[in-house]
Amino acid sequence: MFRRLSDPEKKVRMTFEGQDITAQEGESVAAALLAAGITHLRQTPVSGHPRAPYCMMGACFDCLVNIDGVSNLQACVTPVREGMSVHSQVAEKDLLHEDG
């Protein structure tokens, strides 16, 4: 679906769900994952439907991921870093419910 116009010149190695990903230095995590054919970055807390990066500029929050153990990070505005470990984010449905 998405592809780079050229191979990465300065490669950065990272993983998504344990899968090795080669990214271009300076690109965002979302761009690297899309170029690797990965579009499903998170699930909605209400329906559990998969979501993909949409705006690519930090406005829609459809690209939330967990990076190196930190949740709720926007993949589209987070630059890739050597050795980073990225995981899909599955929201906790119970956080939306009020007590009582």
Summarize as ranges the residues that interact with ligand FES (CB under 6 A): 30, 53-56, 58-63, 74, 76
Length, in residues, of the chain: 100
Distance from first CA to last CA of the chain, Å, rounded? 46
CA 50 to CA 80: how far, in whole Å?
Answer: 22
Query: Which CB, 74 or 89, lies closer to ligand FES?
Result: 74
Q: Residue 80 CB, nearest distance to ligand FES (Å)?
A: 14
Contacts of 97 (CB under 8 A, 6+ apart): none
Query: Which CB, 63 or 80, lies closer to ligand FES?
Result: 63
Query: Which CB, 32 or 76, lies closer to ligand FES?
Result: 76
